[in-house]
Amino acid sequence: MTADAWLTLATVAVTMAILVGTRIAPDLVLVGALTALMLTGVLSPTEALSGLGNPGLATVGVLYVVVAALTDTGAVQAIGTRLLGRPRSVAAAQLRLMMPITALSAFLNNTPLVAMFVPVVEDWCKRMGFAASKLMIPLSYAAILGGLCTLVGTSTNVVVHGLVQESGALDSIGFFEVGAVGLPAAIVGILYVLLTQRWLLPERRPPLRDPGRTREYALEMLVEESSPLIGKSVEEAGLRHLPGAFLAEIDRDGTLIPAVAPSERLRAGDRLLFVGAVDSLVDLLRLRGLYPAPEQLFKLNAPRPERRIVEVVVSEQCPLVNRTIREGRFRSRYDAVVIAAARNGERMRGKIGDIELRAGDTLLLECRPSFIETQRNSRDFLLVSEVQNAQLPRHERAWVAVAILAGMVAVVTAELLTMLEAALVAAGLMLATRCTTLGAARASIDWSVLIVIGAAIGLGEALTVSGAAGAIASSWIAAFGDNPWLALLGIYLLTNLFTEVLTNNAAAVLIFPIAAATAESLDVSFRPFVFAIMMAASAGFATPIGYQTNLMVYGPGGYRFADYVRFGVPLNVLIGAVTVVLAPMIWPF
């Protein structure tokens, strides 16, 4: 090997060691490695930055906009409620998630599938009290396993099929033919996750706030006349086990129902009194069919999806001090409505309009966006801060967002447009139909994920142009001798290794001619080698950079690099064993 090849291998090894052994951000580590290779002349600037122009990276970035629209319209929560239900254990939740994702991924591109379900799972975990780290990796793994079952399940299968057609080495591959190995592998993979997640999959939860410093509000919500919650019990409506909040009582036609039972059925016009921290109450404001009870809310000029949730602290100079909210005509004065109030960190009882304000009271407001700028420096309030991630859903446009998503998937499945083209059209339609705003779309993009994908592609380019990948492949295959079973094992292991450090498609393209030459030299059928490449190139479970869906769940799950190594390596071994044993039995040498 050349000096550049050795330098590249050393850089990749150090990079992996840092990622596994430290908590340094992956984007920083990978960009540092790419910079080192560029400064030492292994890569030209054009080659180092080639990943930034990769269609896969661009597709992931555009899909964030599509997902933002699904979130902003409330479609995400509706999908999660209907599909995922209310399982009672983590294992049941994983099974409930992985089964449909695996089935869908066999026919749909797994990248948009995971992009759509990340916020669904985040919301689901929050409502069910599960740690997101227990479900995000299973989400990615299920999408990968499902893709192994059909010819169009992953882009890798399509690429390998194209190489087969170009070479003319084999007859056409059937749509479900790879499923002969892929389906057993998917079943083994799901069972592995369910049986080992308790010990190998971390349970990481965000740090809880200090209860002594958390402001506790009382929020009164009204069940609308057309609410989908009417007739459902409190538990069925998902209002029983609320993180950080609880349903204190129901006011039904003037009759109070305290200590509400889980089986209590909701009726139109019910007033539900919730008590809890601001983040939990904001989740209630996003529920379809519930509306904050203050009548003044209906008199605000701005449409509800354009309003903001803001916290303010009343100052001594506020003209409403020692007057009730109703007497001070709060809405008319500030073009905002008080929906909840707290004093000394504790909720204030009674109707909102009858609360007599004092200096230091904290109010939760629903207001126009302009309120924040006009009142930020006002003497009436000591503090004005917008509650983050509290945009109110555009429920009336949820069906539009779902229709656009379905159209995107349909045109990609029918191969009318590429994934990138379809995603760009879908994102444009989401903005044009006001399913999301330009500001929300920009804020939704996770730049750290895109940087990691681009840098990882650059490292893969270095392995290729330096000759390191080719040299490793030749010496590796030669070590397995003349036994076709061992040669098949060698092809699988090498493809899988390259998948973890390159990209899945690059690994398949690199190994394909080596596998073809190996089969020809051994005078055996090339078919089992083709399917081994398909399986190995997609079964990248052991690193977050091995498959882009692993990267997409890295941040939301709060994972570390070592989590993938610990949980993914045994699965890589299992899928490899299934493939190497079954492939020659199904397609004899």
One DSSP character per residue, 44-74 reads: -HHHHTGGGG-HHHHHHHHHHHHHHHHHHTT
Which is more confident, 354 or 210? 354
Q: For residue 296, what pLDDT band results from cuts at 50, 70 and 90?
A: low
258 secondary structure, DSSP code: E
What's the confidence (pLDDT) of residue 431?
Answer: 93
Taking Cα atoms as reference points, which of 73, 78, 79 lies closest to residue 396?
73
Compute the average pLDDT of residues 292-305: 65
Which is more confident, 89 or 86? 89
Task: Return the minimum-mean-pLDDT range out of 136-150, 272-286, 311-325.
Answer: 272-286
As a whole number, the mean pLDDT across the chain is 84
**Which residue spans within 74-232 are E strands per DSSP?**
217-223
What's the confidence (pLDDT) of residue 300?
Answer: 66
From residue 30, give the alpha-carbon distance in Å to each of 159, 238, 280, 422, 454. 26, 42, 37, 30, 9
Compute the average pLDDT of residues 197-214: 70
Q: Residue 391: is its pLDDT beyond 90?
A: no
Which is more confident, 565 or 546? 565
What's the confidence (pLDDT) of residue 209?
Answer: 47
What's the confidence (pLDDT) of residue 315?
Answer: 92
Residue found by looking up tokens 């493939």 in the block: 579
Task: Return the minimum-mean-pLDDT range out of 152-166, 526-540, 574-588.
Answer: 152-166
Strand 362-367 and strand 346-347: the pairing is unpaired
Share of the chain above pLDDT 90, in %: 26
Q: Residue 150: is its pLDDT beyond 80?
A: yes
Compute the average pLDDT of residues 55-84: 79
Condensed to tens digits (0 to 9), the pLDDT of residues 429-483 reads 999 998 888 888 888 888 887 887 788 778 878 877 888 877 776 777 677 767 8
Which is more confident, 506 or 194? 194
Q: Residue 584: is its pLDDT beyond 90?
A: yes
What's the confidence (pLDDT) of residue 208?
Answer: 47
Going from N- to C-terminal start, the domains of the chain cover 3-51+147-203+448-586, 213-386
What's the confidence (pLDDT) of residue 227?
Answer: 87
Rounded CA separation 428/373 (Å): 30
Rounded CA separation 100/146 (Å): 9
Please count the other Cβ atoms lying within 10 Å of the Cβ belonging to residue 27. Answer: 17
Compute the average pLDDT of residues 18-29: 81
Q: For residue 496, what pLDDT band results from cuts at 50, 70 and 90?
A: very high
What's the confidence (pLDDT) of residue 212?
Answer: 47
Share of the chain above pLDDT 70, in %: 93
Task: Return the minimum-mean-pLDDT range out of 24-38, 177-191, 205-219.
Answer: 205-219
Question: Which tokens hold the place of 428?
Answer: 């444009």
Q: For residue 211, what pLDDT band results from cuts at 50, 70 and 90?
A: very low
Q: Residue 43: is its pLDDT beyond 50?
A: yes
What's the confidence (pLDDT) of residue 194?
Answer: 96
Please give the angle made by the CA atoms of 191, 197 and 198, to the nearest 5 degrees.
Answer: 125
Please count the other Cβ atoms lying within 10 Å of the Cβ belonging to residue 164. Answer: 21
Domain 213-386, CATH number (from 3.30.1490.20, 3.30.457.10, 3.10.20.30, 3.30.70.1450): 3.30.70.1450
What's the confidence (pLDDT) of residue 214?
Answer: 60
What's the confidence (pLDDT) of residue 304?
Answer: 67
Burial class (CB in 10 A: 0-12, 13-18, 19+), 105: buried
